[in-house]
Amino acid sequence: MEKKEVLILISSLKNGFSNRQIDELLGCDSKKTKGWKSWKILKKYGLKNEDKGKLFLYSLSDCKKIISKLENNKLDTILKKKSPSIVKKYNDSLVLAKTEEDFYQVMSGETRNIMKLLFNSLKKSTPSCQFRGCKKKDLDTVHLHKERPQIFKECAKKYRKREGEYYRYPIRKVMQRFLEKHKRKGAICFLCKKHHLELHRLKTKTAIRNFKKKIVLE
């Protein structure tokens, strides 16, 4: 499989890019190539629009292994045999805590690190700051609507079970749901440090709303 094909497949299956976004990443002009070049590759491997983003939770190395098997297997068949390694280490792990806040304090560093791992590939594929008109390339991963602690605690509450004076939290289920919550468009964006700090300094809802309107999400 050619490197360009791997790039196209990862951009679609992991990062959820549209054909236009992928072609722009490749530097292709759809008018000159008479259609989306990336679409031809996706069709070659029997992939459809609903397959976009199915490898969201998989590491880049796992994605490459899965993609290498696409020629002889359907994607869903492969995924049934391979769960995301990013959450495997939490199998059968539990935390006892009195509140979701206590649980989050235990997992705070872990959630920060796993977010970096999850979005590393997508951040590298983002050419510049997504604030309109900004061309800076040193980017931060920024939560656009709900912050990381709030998302985590909402997910934790869904799976908690009472055990005496504590709640029991299954780490694997909570972390997987936490990560999947970031899949929807607009959950995160990539901003330069200047615009990241500017967003966090805003105090009023109106100012925050007006700032977010200037963020270009594909």
Measured CA to CA in angstroms, residue 34 lies from 15, 19, 29, 84, 128 at distances of 24, 13, 8, 37, 28
On whether residue 161 sits in a domain, the answer given is yes
149-158 mean pLDDT: 97
pTM of the model: 0.77
User: How far is it, in rounded angstroms, from Cα 171 to Cα 196?
Assistant: 30
Under 8 Å CB-to-CB from 134, ≥6 apart: which residues?
128, 191, 192, 194, 195
On whether residue 45 sits in a domain, the answer given is yes
180 and 117 in a single domain? The answer is yes
On whether residue 111 sits in a domain, the answer given is yes
Taking 60 as the threshold, does the pLDDT of residue 193 lie above it? yes
Range of the domain at 27: 3-82
More confident residue, 97 or 45: 97
In degrees and rounded to multiples of 5, residue 146 shows phi and psi of: -100, 140
What percent of the chain is modeled with pLDDT above 70? 96
Using the 3D structure, point to which of 82, 116, 135 is the last residue of a domain: 82
10 and 118 in a single domain? The answer is no
The three-class DSSP label of residue 70 is coil
107 and 63 in a single domain? The answer is no
70-95 mean pLDDT: 87
Using the 3D structure, point to which of 48, 82, 116 is the last residue of a domain: 82
pLDDT for the residue 35: 54
- The β-bridge relationship of strands 139-143 and 188-192 is antiparallel
pLDDT for the residue 149: 96
Using the 3D structure, point to which of 82, 115, 131 is the last residue of a domain: 82
Write out the two tokens for 178: 């936490």
4-29 mean pLDDT: 83
pLDDT for the residue 176: 93
Q: How many domains does the chain have?
A: 2
110 and 205 in a single domain? The answer is yes
188-200 mean pLDDT: 95
pLDDT for the residue 32: 54
pLDDT for the residue 31: 57
What are the DSSP E strand ranges found in the chain? 94-97, 139-143, 161-163, 166-170, 188-192
Determine the Cα angle at 18 with ends 174 and 134, to 5°. Answer: 85
